[in-house]
Each structure stands twice: as structure tokens, then as C-alpha cells.
């Protein structure tokens, strides 16, 4: 079944203003030769307005890397779903492994954020993935199943249909140790089966599932060739327009 394919850059806590704008301009320039995939840039929150304005009307969508689930209130340092929307961003990343492991976000937070994003009309990209010791203990499939089940708790099939999942094994993030296409495919197939059990074959079959973790120009082709890998969420290699474009041009 033909699914949407998406290549996303997660800039994490990199780029000051001038660098962010130059990077976005470089990517827009490169996409003057169109590609058959959607492109999303998850920029630092302070750059959202400007990068979204720069990208408006073009082939690149913009997203926030995080947001809080409350509508508004005394939550110093947080940004709300409405603020993300108002910036011109259409997407939001939810439950990235660094949010889970550095900032101690729980599955319950992820679920609340996912609901808040959908309610605000944002497009959520939910991240899941196991730790190295969980993989070594052969618990990866259970860990990821529980992350998916808890993230989607209480959602209708209609809501689930507008969610994208990114599988990012924590041991592959920023380590240069990319999952083999076979390992990634096996987990993507598992994730799709979990979604099918929750919401049925139509929702599961149409849901883009992206791989993330040390994706580079020289390893994307093998990953993207796999049946259930519908694109990539790229960290380090998304900070240079040339390497991000090379990845996103895969066919």
C-alpha cells in the first residue's frame, strides 16, 4: 500500500538565529528540484516564527520539538499548543527520547501532549524506542508496544489516523550506531501490528512510520528500501543542508 513518505530534520538545541535561517534557506534552495517526500523541520522554539515565515507556501513544513499539554497558565518556561500553532508551525514532535530520558517525560505526559496537539489542530510525530539494556535483555518489542499503547490511549481511530510515529532506538541516537535495515524493519512491522490491533488495518496501513538514529546519506537507501520504513527523522545530519538534502532525495 502506498503511504506518505516524510523526511524530517530535528535540529535539537543547535543553531542561533542566523544559522537557522541559513540552514532553512539552503534546504529550500535544494528543494527547487522537487522530491517525492514531505519535508519537516523541527527547529528550536525561538526560531519557529521566522523559519515558518520563510518556508510559507513552499515544500517545507515546520514543527516544534516539544510543547506542554496545558492550554495556558503559570508554567514558566513552557510553550503551549496555541503558541506553536500561532508561530506558523504545523507539526510538533512528542516524546522524543531526549525529552523522555533527560527531562523525565513519562508515557502519561506523552499521551496528554498527543491529545493536546490533536485538539489544537497540530500534526503530531510521536517518538518511541528502546534503551540499549532493554534491547540486550530482549525486551525491545514489549517496551515499544507499551510506549505506543500508552501514547495512543483514549484516542479515536480518526485521531490516530493523523499521527505519525518515529521509531528511534535510543542506542542509535547520536552514536553513529545505526540500526541495520533488518532490525529497523522488524520493529516497524511490530509497531504497525500494534497500531493495527488498536485501530484496525486501515489506520495502521496508512500510518507513516519513520526511522531515526544516526541516519546519514550513506545508510538511508538500505533503510528506506524496507517495506515498513516510510522516511527518516534525522538529527546530526540535518544540520547541514547538503547532507539533509542528500538523505531526503532517496528514492
Query: Could you say which of 38, 98, 105, 168 is catalytic?
Result: 168
Beta-carbon contacts of residue 251 (< 8 Å; ≥ 6 apart): 36
Q: Let me know if 168 is a catalytic residue.
A: yes
- Min dist. Cβ of residue 165 to ligand 13P (A): 13
Straight-line distance from the first to the last Cα atom of the chain, in angstroms, rounded to the nearest whole number? 16
- Min dist. Cβ of residue 237 to ligand 13P (A): 6
- Min dist. Cβ of residue 202 to ligand 13P (A): 28
- Min dist. Cβ of residue 177 to ligand 13P (A): 9
Residues forming contacts to ligand 13P in the complex (CB under 6 A) are 10, 96, 168, 173-174, 212-215, 233-237
Which residue, 81 or 236, has its beta carbon nearer to ligand 13P? 236
Residue (of 169, 32, 189) closest to 96 by Cα position: 169
The C-alpha cell that represents 153 in the structure block: 490511549
Beta-carbon contacts of residue 192 (< 8 Å; ≥ 6 apart): 204, 205, 207, 209, 228
Query: Could you say which of 37, 47, 96, 190 is catalytic?
Result: 96
Contact assessment for residue 172 and residue 214, using Cβ atoms and an 8 Å cutoff: yes
Which residue, 194 or 233, has its beta carbon nearer to ligand 13P? 233
Which residue, 100 or 203, has its beta carbon nearer to ligand 13P? 100
Which residue, 56 or 221, has its beta carbon nearer to ligand 13P? 221
Q: How many CB atoms lie within 10 A of CB 26?
A: 15
- Min dist. Cβ of residue 33 to ligand 13P (A): 24
Contact assessment for residue 148 and residue 88, using Cβ atoms and an 8 Å cutoff: no
Query: How many helices and strands, by DSSP H and E, does the chain display?
Result: 12, 8
Q: How many CB atoms lie within 10 A of CB 119?
A: 12
Which residue, 17 or 101, has its beta carbon nearer to ligand 13P? 101
Taking CB positions, which residue lies at the least distance from ligand 13P? Answer: 235
Residues annotated as catalytic (active site), given as ranges = 96, 168
Amino acid at each position: 500500500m502506498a503511504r506518505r513518505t516524510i523526511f524530517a530534520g530535528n535540529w535539537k538545541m543547535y543553531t542561533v538565529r542566523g544559522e537557522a535561517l541559513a540552514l532553512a534557506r539552503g534546504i529550500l534552495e535544494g528543494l527547487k528540484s522537487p522530491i517525492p517526500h514531505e519535508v519537516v523541520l523541527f527547529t528550536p522554539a525561538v526560531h519557529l516564527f521566522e523559519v515558518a515565515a520563510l518556508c510559507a507556501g513552499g515544500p517545507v513544513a515546520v514543527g516544534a520539538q516539544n510543547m506542554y499539554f496545558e492550554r495556558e497558565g503559570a508554567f514558566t518556561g513552557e510553550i503551549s499548543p496555541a503558541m506553536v500553532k500561532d508561530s506558523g508551525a504545523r507539526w510538533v514532535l512528542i516524546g522524543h527520547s531526549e525529552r523522555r530520558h533527560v527531562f523525565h517525560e513519562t508515557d502519561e505526559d506523552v499521551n496528554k501532549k498527543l491529545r493536546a496537539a490533536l485538539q489544537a489542530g497540530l500534526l503530531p510525530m510521536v517518538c518511541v524506542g528502546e534503551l540499549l539494556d532493554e534491547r540486550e535483555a530482549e525486551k525491545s518489542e514489549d517496551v515499544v508496544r507499551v510506549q505506543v499503547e500508552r501514547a495512543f490511549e483514549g484516542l479515536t481511530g480518526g485521531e490516530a489516523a493523523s499521527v505519525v510515529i518515529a521509531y528511534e532506538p535510543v542506542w542509535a541516537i547520536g552514536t553513529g550506531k545505526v540500526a541495520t535495515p533488518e532490525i529497523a524493519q522488524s520493529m516497524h512491522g511490530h509497531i504497525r501490528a500494534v497500531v493495527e490491533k488498536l485501530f484496525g488495518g486501515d489506520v495502521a496501513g496508512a500510518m507513516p512510520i519513520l526511522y531515526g538514529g544516526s541516519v546519514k546519506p550513506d545508510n538511508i537507501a538500505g533503510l528506506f528500501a524496507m517495506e515498513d520504513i516510510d522516511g527518516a527523522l534525522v538529527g546530526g545530519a540535518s544540520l547541514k543542508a547538503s547532507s539533509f538534502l542528500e538523505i531526503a532525495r532517496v528514492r
